[in-house]
């Protein structure tokens, strides 16, 4: 059973369809009992950091997520769901994130070091580089393309948790893994065969 946490964020149905396509039983829920009994838990997200944390706190989901991590249930944050795992974001000053992992969420620069301009938000396909072996990327080649939609990105404090990066104006920490906690800035549910393999690998954890 895959529990997809419902905190009124966008893109939940796309995530549900992707896991159903892979044959997983899914439930979209904010009921702590249902979430805690699931075999895998997913925190999706599209939207603003502050609004998302407001809903998570309103629905009392932070303690549930903390319990999932403590219980070592495989947990996957997607897009905004990755950013929320960290302490804070430039997008919403003064708002505390879940604080499960250490790092900064900062805005993507509009120009790189050479003065080249970039459209923000980044919308489209970009290549992944794997600085270390990550369980989500078993069977996936270096340079595989995945789909991004974001204006902010992670700079992880602990480089050992970074399992994938991409380059768009700067080097972006595109994915992390720490114990039972996995996350990716891109959308695997929108990343064709590569994305399906990533989700399949998550289900195998």
Q: Which residues are catalytic?
A: 79, 187, 189
Secondary structure of residue 178 in the 3-state scheme: strand
CA 3 to chain centre: 15
As a whole number of angstroms, the distance between CA 88 and CA 9 comes to 18
Q: Where are the alpha helices (DSSP H) in the chain?
A: 12-21, 32-36, 49-58, 62-70, 80-83, 192-204
The number of residues in the chain equals 205
As a whole number of angstroms, the distance between CA 163 and CA 178 comes to 10
Maximal CA-CA distance, the chain: 52
As a whole number of angstroms, the distance between CA 183 and CA 198 comes to 11
Secondary structure of residue 49 in the 3-state scheme: helix
Q: Any residues with CB less than 8 A from the CB of 204 and at least 6 apart, and which? A: 135, 138
């Amino acid at each position: 059973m895959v529990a997809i946490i419902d905190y009124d964020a966008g893109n939940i149905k796309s995530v549900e369809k992707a896991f159903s396509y892979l044959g997983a039983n899914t439930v979209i829920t904010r009921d702590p009992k249902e979430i805690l009994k699931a075999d895998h838990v997913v925190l999706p997200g599209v939207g603003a950091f502050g609004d998302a944390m407001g809903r998570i706190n309103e629905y009392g989901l932070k303690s549930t997520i903390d319990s999932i991590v403590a219980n070592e249930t495989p947990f996957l944050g997607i897009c905004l769901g990755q950013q929320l795992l960290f302490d804070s974001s430039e997008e919403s000053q003064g708002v505390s994130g879940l604080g499960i992992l250490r790092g900064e969420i900062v805005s993507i620069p509009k120009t790189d070091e050479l003065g080249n301009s970039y459209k923000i938000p980044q919308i489209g396909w970009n290549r992944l580089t794997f600085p270390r072996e990550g369980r989500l990327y078993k069977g996936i080649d270096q340079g595989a393309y995945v789909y991004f939609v974001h204006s902010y990105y992670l700079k992880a404090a602990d480089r050992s948790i970074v399992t994938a990066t991409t380059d768009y104006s700067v080097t972006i920490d595109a994915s992390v893994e720490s114990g039972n906690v996995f996350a990716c800035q891109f959308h695997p549910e929108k990343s064709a065969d590569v994305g399906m393999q990533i989700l399949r690998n998550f289900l195998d954890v």
